[in-house]
């Protein structure tokens, strides 16, 4: 399904996404790893859309999970003349995750990114207390050895399987907001 809206004065925003299971799913860590493969600076969406083509300053995936449900998305802001190209690139990279098995380096980089982000994201007492509150409220502790082990146990086959099951562009909702 595609939703087109009008807003803003200069830049378009493209979002594609869908539903995920909640935090209790055994696929939680594989989903986080898939999201990291698409991830921030140096990872697939950033590299393909920003670094190689200069079409967006901020292409990024996101995954939000609560105890009972979640959502995934990939988004990018771009000049309105580039909307179709950005949609194609987002779709290509999401489909690539489903159709091509990750190489060892990509998998290791994603897992290292997740572990490193956890450490960096918890550098302040405010961040630590906020995470403790979320851990307690959601019943799914990030501040645990089990969380780190869950990330480390993810395989390339796990990432491809969850991408095929959940990150399906053929079942996603596409939202385009432009002037």
Looking at residue 101, what DSSP letter applies? P
pLDDT of 32 over the 70 cut: yes
In this prediction, residue 39 carries a pLDDT of 84
- Between CA 14 and CA 178 the distance in angstroms is 9
What is the β-pairing status of strands 2-6 and 69-78? unpaired
In this prediction, residue 174 carries a pLDDT of 97
Higher pLDDT, 36 or 118: 36
Higher pLDDT, 13 or 8: 13
Structure tokens at 54: 């200069």
Nearest in space to 87 (alpha carbons), one of 102, 76, 95, 73: 76
DSSP H helices, 100-155, are 104-121, 125-138, 145-152
In this prediction, residue 157 carries a pLDDT of 97
pLDDT in tens, 120-135: 777 788 877 887 887 7
Question: 141 pLDDT band (50/70/90 cuts)?
Answer: low
Q: Which of 33-42, 47-56, 87-96, 119-128 has the lowest mean pLDDT?
A: 119-128
What is the β-pairing status of strands 2-6 and 60-65? unpaired
In this prediction, residue 8 carries a pLDDT of 81
Q: What's the start-to-end Cα distance of the chain, in Å? A: 20
Helix pair 145-152, 104-121: axis angle to 10 deg: 160
Question: 62 pLDDT band (50/70/90 cuts)?
Answer: very high
Structure tokens at 128: 């630590």
Sign for the pseudo-dihedral over CA of 56, 84, 101, 36: positive
Which residues are bridge partners to 128 per DSSP?
none
**Averaged pLDDT, 4-17:** 92
pLDDT of 139 over the 70 cut: yes
pLDDT of 2 over the 70 cut: yes
Question: 3 pLDDT band (50/70/90 cuts)?
Answer: very high
Helix pair 28-38, 83-99: axis angle to 10 deg: 140
pLDDT of 86 over the 90 cut: yes
């Amino acid at each position: 399904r595609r939703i087109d809206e009008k807003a803003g004065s200069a830049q378009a925003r493209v979002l594609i996404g869908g539903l995920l299971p909640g935090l209790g799913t055994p696929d939680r860590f594989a989903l986080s790893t898939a999201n990291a493969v698409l991830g921030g600076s140096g990872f697939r969406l950033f590299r393909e859309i920003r670094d190689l083509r200069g079409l967006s300053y901020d292409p990024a995936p996101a995954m939000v999970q609560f105890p009972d449900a979640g959502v995934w998305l990939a988004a990018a802001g771009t000049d309105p003349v580039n909307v179709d190209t950005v949609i194609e690139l987002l779709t290509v990279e999401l489909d690539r995750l489903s159709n091509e098995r990750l190489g060892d380096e990509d998998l290791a980089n994603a897992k290292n990114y997740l572990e490193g982000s956890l450490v960096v994201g918890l550098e302040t007492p405010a961040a630590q207390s906020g995470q403790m509150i979320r851990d307690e409220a959601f019943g799914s502790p990030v501040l645990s050895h089990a969380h780190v082990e869950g990330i480390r146990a993810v395989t390339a086959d796990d990432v491809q399987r969850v991408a095929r099951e959940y990150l399906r562009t053929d079942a996603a909702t596409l939202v385009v907001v432009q002037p």
